[in-house]
Structure 1
Amino acid sequence: MSRAQCPRCARPLTHCLCQLIPHLSSHTRVLILQHPDETRHALNTARLAALGLANAELRVGEHFPELESELAATGGAAWLLFPGEGAQTVAQLAASATGAPVERLLIVPDGTWRKARRLLYCNPWLAELPRLALEDGLVSRYRLRKAPAAGALSTIEAIVHCLNGLEGTGRFDELLRPFEALIEAQIAAMGEEVYRRNHLRGDAPDE
């Protein structure tokens, strides 16, 4: 028998995160394109990001035909958060901005690398957008899973990094509170001993 869920954060009512989810404003509009498989993920940080940002939207699917015409109305201010040839880093984009804050559209694919590439394949016009990439050396706070590649972050961490870089360091850190609570709850459920045995091994540098 499944446990009752909060209709807003989709967590079990006994572990509702709504009190930890902020309501933050941003000049940057964030559009998260979530692969359908990610809706069943235990963390689903894309949902947390969309709930915590006033200027954010979450769309689920593989094909987004309506979005191409919507992007035409942005006046070229749309960026795709995905590495690729010619991609600018967040720091480079922020340094290029002058004057008043810019109202950008940041499109964030949500899924594994394979699923994110699938989204670009199904929506080829996405691949034509200017790319934004994360800087090297970033470390995820998700301590329960080894990152698939160096510098790989969860969706909510990547969004926070981008918004902090574009609009002010630390302004969006509060968005990570429910994410941290999820991690701590998972560690508590498995027990400290199991966590240390299975997830802290290999922390020492290689000989």
Structure 2
Amino acid sequence: MSRPQCPRCNRPLNHCLCALITQVDSRTRLLILQHPSEANHALNTARLAALGLPNAQLLVGEVFEDLPALLAQPGYRPCLLFPGERAVALTEWVAAEVEPLLLVVPDGTWRKARKLLHCNPLLAELPRASLPEGLSSRYRLRKAPMAGALSTLEAIVAALQIIEAPRDFSQLLRPFEALIDGQISAMGEETFRRNHADQ
């Protein structure tokens, strides 16, 4: 029998994170495209981002038929937050900014995120923005596939800190940090240290 869940944060009711989710307005609009494999994951950070940002939209799927309309929102310049050879540092985007950004963020493992780009050619054609090198994740329960790899929520917060400086978006990380602490507590400190502390 499954445990009752909070309908908002999708966590078990006795581990609900809603009290820690703060609504933060942003000039930047976010379109988070989540691969279906992430939707029911216990550590669903994209959902936490969407709950904390009124100007964010979270869609789950592999092929997004409405993408042309979603990207053509008047008053916004769309760009894809994704590394690669064509990616331009987000700081350069900000320096050249005329109108607010529509930041498109794929959510999934690197393999699944690339699949989203493959299944949605319009995404792959978007100009790309990248985060600075050297950022480190607080995601202590997943081994990062490469240096600088962040959870989706951490990447969004890092991007907004750059785009809308000097505004501070770090409060969006509060439920994420509580979630990680709760997972570590559930597994026991000794198990955590043995399996994750050297990451």
TM-score tier (shorter)? over 0.9
C-alpha separation in 2, matches of 1:108 and 1:194: 33
Q: Tell me what 1:57 maps to.
A: 57
Q: Give me the whole-angstrom Cα distance separating, in 1, the residues matched to 2:121 and 2:108.
A: 17
Aligned-partner Cα distance in 2 for 1:147–1:170: 28
Q: CA deviation at 1:73?
A: 4.0
Q: Hey, what does 2:119 align to over in structure 1?
A: 122
The aligned residue for residue 87 of structure 2 is: 87
Query: Which of 161, 168, 178 is the matching residue for 2:158?
Result: 161
Deviation at 1:67, TM superposition (A): 1.4
The CA deviation string for residues 52-94 of structure 1, in whole angstroms up to 9 with x for no partner, is 0010010000111211133234467000011123311122222
For residues 164 and 75 of structure 1, the distance between their equivalents in structure 2, rounded to whole angstroms, comes to: 21
**C-alpha displacement at 1:96, in angstroms?**
2.8
What is the distance in 1 between the residues matched to 2:141 and 2:165? 29
**3-state SS of 2:39 partner:** helix
TM-score in terms of structure 2 length: 0.94
Gaps of 5+ in 1: none
Query: In structure 2, what residue type is equivalent to 1:9?
Result: C
Distance 2:156 2:130 in 1: 11
On the 8 A contact 2:94/2:163 being kept in 1, the answer is: yes
- Count of residues paired in the alignment: 199
Contact 2:76 2:100 in 1 (8 A): no
Which has the larger Rg? 1
Residue 189 of structure 1 corresponds to 186
Matched residues, percent identical? 64
Asked if the contact 2:80–2:123 (Cα under 8 Å) also holds between the matched residues in 1, the reply is: yes
Aligned amino acid, residue 193 of structure 2: R
Give the one of 105, 110, 116 matched to 2:107.
110
Relative to 1, partners in 2 of residues 1:75 and 1:170: Cα closer, same or farther, differing over 3 Å? closer
Counterpart CA distance in 2 for 1:30 and 1:73 is 11
1:11-160, aligned counterparts within 5 Å? 11-74=11-74, 77-97=77-97, 102-160=99-157
- Larger mean CA deviation between 158-167 and 79-88 belongs to 79-88
The 1:143/1:169 distance shift into structure 2, 3 A limit, reads farther
CA distance in 2, matches of 1:122, 1:83: 18
In structure 2, the gaps of 5 or more residues are none
